[in-house]
Amino acid sequence: MPTTEQDAISTMFDRIAESYDSTNRVLSFGQDLRLRAEVARFIPSEPNISLLDVATGTADLLITLCKLRPNIKTAVGVDLAENMLKIGHKKLVDQGLLGLASLQNADASDLPFERESFDVVTIAFGIRNVVAKERALQEFFRVLKPHGCLIILEFSMPERAAINKLYELYFRHILPRVGGWLSKNRDAYCYLNRSVEAFPRPHEFRKVLFNTGFTTVTLHQLTFGIATIYCARKG
Ligand SMILES: C[S@@+](CC[C@H](N)C(=O)[O-])C[C@H]1O[C@@H](n2cnc3c(N)ncnc32)[C@H](O)[C@@H]1O
């Protein structure tokens, strides 16, 4: 059952859904697509992969993975924001992916799937927005098959001081203004900055993944550390 805080977050995404993709392209200078494509490198190469993409939003990661990895046999995307899912669904239709991929409204911290249902669980720029993060990680662990893997793509704060300063300047001052102007919702892009700064540093988050029960956790920093991919294996 989503909490009030979680309701407020999904309502915010419902409000910005129409402009979400185009604002992402502008704010990231097109790099958001490249960062999502990096996730494909970590999808196992075995045949007939069943994949769950949590906090799928407008399904950009789901679509990228289905196109880049033909060994994905079934793909399900879940999100709490109905308007984000509607746009994602239209994109799946336009790309001819409906036979392979489907979307449903569900909470990351209360997934409507049997235990050991998926080979891979992915979540891009989403775990930061989940209020009950540890509960959600336990859910990812529960629905993964033995030896399955969780792949998380999330923003991170660059460690090198000069790049960190530039990143702070961009995230604190430029991004809320430009994002607010493009989406007509400045609060959403102030929230983006606050949620990135509040998210644990990669090495701390790695410990959280170990504490959830994942046995191997590797970190892969992208573009001077502005984003990190976490690959966590179950057993
Ligand atoms: C920044 S967007 C990322 C969307 C997409 N993964 C992408 O790469 O563009 C974050 C998404 O997380 C979703 N979200 C937040 N909390 C959630 C939860 N508890 N369960 C499911 N989705 C959630 C929001 O509705 C939103 O669509």
Kindly give the number of the ligand 1 atom that is closest to the alpha carbon of 20. 9
The per-residue pLDDT for 115 is 98
Which residues form ligand 1's pocket by a CB distance below 6 Å?
6, 9-10, 13, 36, 55-57, 60-61, 78-81, 84, 107-109, 124-126, 129-130
Phi-psi region of 169 (alpha: psi -120 to 50; beta: other; left: phi over 0): alpha
pLDDT at 228: 97
Using an 8 Å Cβ cutoff, are 2 and 80 in contact?
Answer: yes
> What is the Å distance from ligand 1's center to 76 Cα?
14
**pLDDT the model gives residue 1:** 59
Q: What tokens does 64 get?
A: 């990228």
d(CA 57, CA 59): 5
pLDDT at residue number 189: 86
What DSSP string runs through 138-158? HHHHHHEEEEEEEEEEEE---
User: What is the distance between the alpha carbons of residues 108 and 52, in angstroms, rounded to a whole number?
Assistant: 11
- β partners of residue 103: 77
Tokens of 192: 């983006």
pLDDT digits (tens, 9 = 90+) for 5-60: 999 999 999 999 999 999 999 988 889 999 999 999 999 999 999 999 999 999 99
- Which residue is it, tokens 């809320």? 176
**Ranges in the chain, pLDDT < 70:** 1-2
Q: Using CA positions, which residue lies closest to atom 1 of ligand 1?
A: 125
Nearest residue (by CA) to ligand 1, atom 26, is 57
| 136 Cα nearest atom in ligand 1 | 19
* Residues in a beta bridge with 53: 77, 122
Q: Are 4 and 29 in contact (CB under 8 A)?
A: no
Question: Ligand 1 pocket: which of 58, 65, 79 to mutate (most atoms <8 Å of CB)?
Answer: 79
Beta bridge partners of 154: 228
Q: Alpha carbon 51 to chain centroid distance?
A: 14
Q: How high is the pLDDT of residue 2?
A: 65
